[in-house]
Chains A and B, each alone.
Chain A
Amino acid sequence: MAGGAASSGSTASDTYAGARHWLLMPSWFVLLIFVAAPVAMMLVYSFLTKEFRGGVIWEFSLGAYDQFFFDRGLFGDDPPQIDWTYINIFWRSIWQAGLATVLSLLIGFPTAYFIATRPERSRALWVFVITIPYWVNLLIRTVSMKFLLRDQGPMNDFLIWTGVIDDPLRIINTNLAVQLGLFYSYLPFMVLPIYAAVERYNFTLSEAAADLYASKWATLRRVLLPAVKPGVIAGCILVFVPSLGAFLAPDLLGGARNFMIGSLIEEQFKGNAGNWPFGAAASMILLTLVLIILMVFARQQRRMGDMR
């Protein structure tokens, strides 16, 4: 009876090997047609020529990528220079999403752990308590957050009333507000996978560590964390990736003053810009970036797995 990390070897089996293709057919069908094919189509669009005021002309062009990476001045005839504009937008988005992920992990891990160690019957209740707010639409939650944080909003009124501060905290329309909004948007995606992992965790391992005089925190770091790591990583990915492309939080809480990746792309299709190839190119670059991050992650995982 080996618990946690060691169990993966014994659960993989080939019981249903004969039916494997039938079992996989539905997901292949749906995902190839409605996810893979659209992404491929988007790749094609990113190399097309833009039509004035929306739409594309079916002619090969590198214009979209040129616009992303090179600055040719206001009139398009200066010698090309590296354009930091869009790179900065991407960098800002990654930074925001990263901070939101760290924030979610710092609060989400202890919460998930705490819930998973409750008696079995109240666990379900805790999980529901965590998920209830998520039955309320993301938009409403973001707007309530905005309502709460406003300069003349309830939070500032409360803090001034208690005398903690004299002037209202200016949080709305700042990066902090965006991070709070992202954190608030995706927190359960951090809590649920970690909860699932901790629930499966075999606590006799912790007991064994304690019997060997390991301190509590050493046990947490050296025994528990490695065992529940897949859950933690799943949680981080589930928070980081959607945060990267989010556009409600930046729009509503950040005041739409600065583009984030999501709003930049949205603007190309639904907003003023109407530049489809550029929107497709920016999407492709974002996608590539995310895949690289995930691959680095996966490789590191594998290396650590080999060492063990």
Chain B
Amino acid sequence: MKYFASTAMALALSVGAAAAEGDLVVYHWFEYMPQELLDKFTAETGVNVTMDTYDSNEAMLASLKAGGMGTYDVAVPGDYMVAIMAGEGLLDTIADGELTNKGNIAPEWADPSFDPGRKHSIPYQWGSTAFAVDTGSYEGDINTTDILFNPPEELRGKINMLDSQGEVMAMASLHMGIPQCSTDRDQLKALNDMLQGAKANWASFNSDTAKEVLVSGDAVVGMIYDGFSAKAREEKASVTYAFPKEGYVVWMDNVVLLKDAPNRENAIKFMDFLLEPENIAAVSNYARYGLGVTGAEDFLDPELATLPESNPPADAGAGAFIEVCDEATQAVYDQIWTNLKK
């Protein structure tokens, strides 16, 4: 028994020792970064990258707050989550001059409201969230949020929703034409009732399989991100991304430097690496989303410019970022979400 105990200790120590210098631990969305790019980073810098994935901004936040801090170096939160994380004190500040390639950030993304002056983050990818419909199985008008929240008879029970509170709530607010952080009781009650009614028509809540269910035919309608929808279309041509006239969600994911990062230097190297036009273009070519770096045009797949998923038609509604509500308001939205899932 003593023998086994010491073997256990030795093994554990040897595994622990692997986390010495030359490592980088990335906390990232699923299916969002090509492995070849990570290999390229390793080849250039000698830094060994470990990646862990999550499927919603909220899940990432929860995991970081549940003891994840101090184990990851960088994470990739969406716009509103950057603001929340900064407010929670989870982000480290990037000093002036630390990032060699900071000048590559496109001017329109250099000073966003969620991170003024880009003190904690760099742009990664941006895109929209709406839904896609298999137009091989449904021929009506798809550019309306009614498809999700008040679907025609033939679509009932064939809808997959993203399992992400922020995005579902924002779409529902657009559908009803109310503000995202409403404090009006009647509006909130109506929102709750509307979602309760709509839930009966939904088959499942799943973010990870958002593409798969559309391709396999398990769902005819699926809430989805635009680039993910483009990938689905490559596998099944009849999957069409909708731009509802009521509006849709736009987002930007950002690479942030986490507080207490165990490999802070490598994290900075990694951020510089992702600000190189050629590298970030490789992400866009893989994930089919837009980027926020100047000079990347030459490296981009020409097809990206004409993707139906990233070129809204003239009659599409406006895009809206997800808003951050205050604690009391958020409590009501949390309650609505719980009511929805119970």
Give yes or no for direct A-B contact (beta carbon below 8 Å).
yes
**A residues at B contact (CB < 8 Å):** 26, 52-55, 74-76, 85-86, 88-89, 150-152, 172-173, 255-259, 267, 269-274, 276
Contact check, B202 vs A257: say whether CB atoms are below 8 A apart: yes
Q: Can you name the residue of chain A whose Cβ is closest to the Cβ of B163?
A: A256
Q: Can you name the residue of chain A whose Cβ is closest to the Cβ of B330?
A: A52
B334 within 8 A of A: yes
A-contact bits for B53-87, CB 8 A (1 contact / 0 none): 00010110111011000000000000000001000
Total contacts A-B at CB 8 Å: 89
A-contact bits for B314-342, CB 8 A (1 contact / 0 none): 00000000000001001110111111011
B contact face: mostly helix, strand, loop, or mixed: helix
Whole-angstrom CA separation of A267 from B65 in the bound complex: 14
Q: A152-B218, A259-B342, A274-B61 are in contact. Are A269 and B205 (CB under 8 A)?
A: no
B192 within 8 A of A: yes
Q: Write 12 A-B pairs (CB below 8 A) sorted by A numbering.
A: A54-B61, A54-B65, A74-B335, A257-B199, A257-B341, A270-B66, A271-B59, A271-B62, A272-B56, A273-B62, A273-B334, A274-B65
B36 within 8 A of A: no
Contact check, A151 vs B218: say whether CB atoms are below 8 A apart: yes
Whole-angstrom CA separation of A272 from B66 in the bound complex: 13
Scan residues 283-342 of chain B and give those whose CB is less than 8 A from a CB of chain A.
327, 330-332, 334-339, 341-342
Which of A54, A75, A150, A259 has a CB less than 8 Å from the CB of B216? A150
Whole-angstrom CA separation of A173 from B205 in the bound complex: 10
Whole-angstrom CA separation of A274 from B61 in the bound complex: 9
Whole-angstrom CA separation of A54 from B204 in the bound complex: 26
Which of B218, B327, B339 has a CB less than 8 Å from the CB of A172? B218
Chain A residues near B341 (CB-CB < 8 A): 257-259, 267
Whole-angstrom CA separation of A75 from B199 in the bound complex: 21
Contact check, A273 vs B188: say whether CB atoms are below 8 A apart: no
Whole-angstrom CA separation of A256 from B213 in the bound complex: 14
Q: A74-B189, A259-B341, A272-B165 are in contact. Are A53 and B88 (CB under 8 A)?
A: yes
Number of B residues with CB within 8 Å of any CB on chain A: 39
Scan residues 125-171 of chain B and give those whose CB is less than 8 A from a CB of chain A.
163-165
The list of the 10 closest CB pairs from A to B, nearest first, reads A255-B204, A54-B65, A272-B58, A272-B165, A274-B62, A256-B205, A85-B342, A52-B327, A54-B62, A55-B65
Contact check, B84 vs A53: say whether CB atoms are below 8 A apart: yes
Whole-angstrom CA separation of A172 from B218 in the bound complex: 9
B238 within 8 A of A: no
Chain A residues near B165 (CB-CB < 8 A): 272
Whole-angstrom CA separation of A272 from B56 in the bound complex: 8
**B residues at A contact (CB < 8 Å):** 1, 56, 58-59, 61-63, 65-66, 84, 88, 163-165, 185, 188-189, 192, 199, 202-206, 216-218, 327, 330-332, 334-339, 341-342
Q: Can you name the residue of chain B whose Cβ is closest to the Cβ of A268?
A: B62
Which of A255, A258, A271 has a CB less than 8 Å from the CB of B342? A258
Q: Can you name the residue of chain B whose Cβ is closest to the Cβ of A267?
A: B341
Chain A residues near B56 (CB-CB < 8 A): 271-272
Whole-angstrom CA separation of A152 from B338 in the bound complex: 32
Q: Can you name the residue of chain B whose Cβ is closest to the Cβ of A76?
A: B331
Q: A74-B188, A152-B218, A256-B163 are in contact. Are A173 and B58 (CB under 8 A)?
A: no
B327 to chain A, nearest CB (A): 5
Chain A residues near B59 (CB-CB < 8 A): 270-272
Contact check, A272 vs B164: say whether CB atoms are below 8 A apart: yes
Which of B66, B88, B217 has a CB less than 8 Å from the CB of A151? B217
Q: Can you name the residue of chain A whose Cβ is closest to the Cβ of B164?
A: A272
Q: A74-B332, A76-B331, A150-B218 are in contact. Are A270 and B205 (CB under 8 A)?
A: no
Q: Can you name the residue of chain A whose Cβ is closest to the Cβ of B209?
A: A252
Q: Can you name the residue of chain A whose Cβ is closest to the Cβ of B205?
A: A256
Chain A residues near B216 (CB-CB < 8 A): 150, 152
Contact check, B63 vs A270: say whether CB atoms are below 8 A apart: yes
Whole-angstrom CA separation of A86 from B220 in the bound complex: 31
Chain A residues near B218 (CB-CB < 8 A): 150-152, 172
Which of B58, B206, B335 has a CB less than 8 Å from the CB of A271? B58
Chain B residues near A74 (CB-CB < 8 A): 185, 188-189, 192, 332, 335-336, 339
Whole-angstrom CA separation of A85 from B342 in the bound complex: 7
Chain B residues near A256 (CB-CB < 8 A): 163, 204-206
Most interface-central of A53, A54, A150, A272 (chain B CB within 10 A): A272
